[in-house]
Structure 1
Amino acid sequence: MFTLHIDPHLGRMALGAVLPTTIRAWRRKLLDGGTPEPQAVKAYALLRAVFNTAIREDEIIRQNPCRIPGYDRYHTPERPAATVAQVFALAGAMPSRFRALIVTAALSGLRWGEWPRCDLDLEAGIVRVARKLAVLNGRVEFGPPKSAAGVRVMALPAAAVNALTEHMAEFVGVSPESLVFTGSKGQLLR
């Protein structure tokens, strides 16, 4: 963040020479140059932290030039959500291997790589989410969720249970570690 968004524009300036007007011009240059607003907000937050350190710990400057209201937030537009009818229409248009994936993801909010067969209990209508599938250095591997809150048990709606029951019978191996959703050759989805 610093190397890409801050240093090229402000890195040669003395801390005391940076004013709120400098910060406004810097931010405008970032946004006009194609930097997405969330990245500009993160760069601003980092720069503000640098200046706070210069004030509190090092006593290099007396006031932080990063005190511009609104620069530390960005507006995230609400994403449109599909209706239930649209979800089922999309699922119906997909190859049969992916229909349950569409229905389950849309109705539960679960990611396809969060659970193998052993974590799914269709009789109880639940899925235990105890791990996530991640791509690390080009390898795909299971690991723990990002936080303790990521480990959870989720109830599945009846429509997802029905779709998964059909899917499991046709596409999922009998091993407890078999992934519920795979590609046509049985490999991980990417």
Structure 2
Amino acid sequence: MSIRKREWTTPGGVKKSAWVVDYSDTTGKRRLKTFSRKKDADQFAATASVEVREGIHVADSASVTVATAGKLWIASGENAGLERSTIKQRKTHLDYHLVPLIGATLLSKLTVPAVREFEDRMRIEGRSPAMRKKVLTSLGSILADAAERGLATRNPVRDIRGTRKGRDRRQEKRQKGRVEVGVDIPTREEIKALLGALDAHWRPLLITAVFTGMRSSELRGLAWKEVDFKRGEITVNQRADQFGEIGPPKSEAGVRVIPVPPIVINALREHRLQQSKLAHLVFGNPDGGPRSHSNIVNKGLKPAMKRAGVTVTTGEIDKDGNPIVEAKYTGLHSLRHFYASWLINRKEDGGLGLPTKMVQERLGHASIVMTMDVYGHLFPRTDDGTELAQAANILLS
């Protein structure tokens, strides 16, 4: 590998110079790369020398753009049988965020400063912190896929994440915050009002959601064969994705058995009598397919919240001068949060008082860390002043 200065005169009589790095790549092919400054040429030569020796160097002329690598990444996901929702998310990140901003950038030129600049552009153009994080994760995945194909040698996203790990975790906790009763979690009084306001059509589904904490996809994919009326249990073995396709839960922890109270069993018995004997799904459409998530929320949950008086004002008024209200809790996940709090609360407070591990299993969390990160502050404290005094007296006696 050599570095030499090249000088020439343009047709207009202007003298110019550049620094040329002359080297052979990992395949033995001769490569020339030109720089305006010797400092840059020296830096490239030092890096390329190591990469060639380790057999991982990719020349600019052999590299591909982020857009091209992104298409290969999507193809890899399709070949691996990833869910349609995952493929759709990959395409969205590529088409609406990556290609418009850095799609023409060669992977060989994608450095840590270049990725930082990309982050800044996303922020300036109004992408939310959550979206910026997701898109950056996708870019890192694209680079990892490209490295396996021999199209990239470095992953600057991984390098950035390595230096930010602790800071990002702290920032994420600050942004996410803790779920709070009355804000994210319906109160016991609000749930009682909601249950009293349910109409016959939506009552079985929403009662099941309240007393099982099942995810929307799990409710929509629940089959009658998984409902054990005698034992009072529901088994979660499958779910329906956003396209209505039935498949297994995303993780092994999602497969679980949930004991349910008589109110759920009775509601499901009545619901079964009104359905066709050929119906496969518990909460399916008339055609037998899964209901959509938006249908459940917009036609079932929100109207019931309004009837129950579980609302907040929008700050606007109607044509008669009355304040306009909307449902206080606008997602099925609020019912899942309530179920978690019900499992955690002490028996004297109307809860089940279950230990952390059982709460994790009932919710289908992949790890107990996830359970504690979201709900840890809801568990009753056992280190109040009285108990501390008793412990100290026993220790010193």
**TM-score under structure 1 length normalisation:** 0.69
Q: Which has the higher contact order (CA 8 A, sep 6+)?
A: 1
Counterpart of 1:114? 221
My pick for the range that moved more, 72-81 or 148-157, is 72-81
Q: Is the 8 A contact 1:88 1:103 kept in 2?
A: no
Q: Is the 8 A contact 1:172 1:181 kept in 2?
A: no
Q: Which amino acid aligns with 2:212?
A: S
Note the aligned Cα RMSD (angstroms): 3.6
Query: Secondary structure at 2:185's aligned position in 1?
Result: coil
Partners in 1 of 2:222 and 2:110 — Cα distance? 54
Q: Which amino acid aligns with 2:100?
A: P
Query: What runs of 5+ residues in structure 1 fail to find an aligned partner?
Result: none
Counterpart of 1:29? 121
Pairing partner for 1:181 from 283, 292, 303: 283
Q: What are the superposed Cα offsets for residues 86-117 of structure 1, whole Å, 9 maximum, x if unpaired? A: 22322332321211211211221223223222
Q: Which amino acid aligns with 2:176?
A: T
Counterpart of 2:246? 142
My pick for the range that moved more, 22-31 or 66-75, is 66-75
Q: What are the superposed Cα offsets for residues 10-51 of structure 1, whole Å, 9 maximum, x if unpaired? A: 34456457443x444422321332323333113223444638
Taking only the aligned residue pairs, the percentage that are identical comes to 23
Offset at 1:135? 4.8
Offset at 1:125? 0.7
2:145 aligned with 1:41: no
Q: Which amino acid aligns with 1:156?
A: V
Partners in 2 of 1:119 and 1:78 — Cα distance? 33
Q: Which amino acid aligns with 1:35?
A: R
Residues 122 and 86 of structure 1, relative CA distance in 2, 3 Å threshold: farther
Q: Which amino acid aligns with 1:126?
A: E
Residues 172 and 41 of structure 1, relative CA distance in 2, 3 Å threshold: same
Partners in 2 of 1:38 and 1:84 — Cα distance? 31
Q: Which amino acid aligns with 2:291?
A: L
Structure with the higher helix share, 1 or 2: 2
Counterpart of 2:239? 132
Pairing partner for 1:76 from 154, 176, 193: 176
Q: Which amino acid aligns with 1:27?
A: E
Query: What runs of 5+ residues in structure 2 fail to find an aligned partner?
Result: 1-92, 293-397
Residues 143 and 174 of structure 1, relative CA distance in 2, 3 Å threshold: same
Q: Which amino acid aligns with 2:226?
A: D
**TM-score under structure 2 length normalisation:** 0.37
